[in-house]
């Protein structure tokens, strides 16, 4: 059993469910506060899931503010936190989130300006 198998099999706490709901409705700033609290309170490595989603959400928030450089920085940080996680963790489709965030970053790099916000995909869930 790897380090990630046991914590990833656990359900998300209600605060994380709410943070994902906020992320998925475009409330990227508000999701940050909930995930940050969870991240600070969690001692196990599963906290990386919270930090990864949080930072990608902050990157998306920066996009809504027109801050391309800040968005790229935060998305890259989020990607680093998510990299060691399995493709599915606590009902989150981590692989899809990594892919979606990579597409956003690539488009930002390509255009160098604000992008179509329809590229800001929600956090997908898996059964």
Q: What is the pLDDT of residue 20?
A: 98
- Give the residue extent of every domain in the chain: 13-119
Distance in angstroms between the alpha carbons of the first and the last residue of the chain = 21
Average pLDDT, the chain: 93
Angle between helix axes 47-64 and 14-24 (nearest 10 degrees) is 20
Is pLDDT of 79 > 50?
yes
Q: pTM value?
A: 0.91
pLDDT, one tens digit per residue, over 81-117 is: 999 999 999 999 999 999 999 999 999 999 987 788 8
pLDDT band at 4 (very low <50, low <70, confident <90, very high): very low
Task: Round to whole Å and give the CA distance between 41 and 47.
Answer: 9
Per CATH, the number for 13-119 is 1.10.3450.10
Of residues 72 and 1, more confidence is placed in: 72
């Amino acid at each position: 059993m790897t380090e990630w198998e046991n914590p990833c099999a656990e359900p998300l706490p209600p605060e994380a469910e709410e943070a994902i709901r906020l992320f998925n409705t475009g409330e990227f700033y508000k999701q940050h506060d909930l995930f940050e609290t969870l991240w600070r309170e969690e001692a196990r490595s599963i906290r990386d899931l919270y930090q990864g989603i949080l930072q990608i959400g902050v990157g998306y928030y920066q996009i809504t503010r027109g801050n391309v450089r800040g968005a790229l920085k935060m998305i890259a940080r989020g990607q680093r936190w998510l990299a060691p996680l399995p493709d599915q963790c606590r009902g989150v489709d981590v692989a899809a989130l990594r892919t979606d965030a990579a597409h956003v970053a690539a488009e930002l790099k390509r255009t160098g300006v604000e992008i179509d916000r329809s590229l800001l995909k929600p956090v997908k869930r898996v059964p």
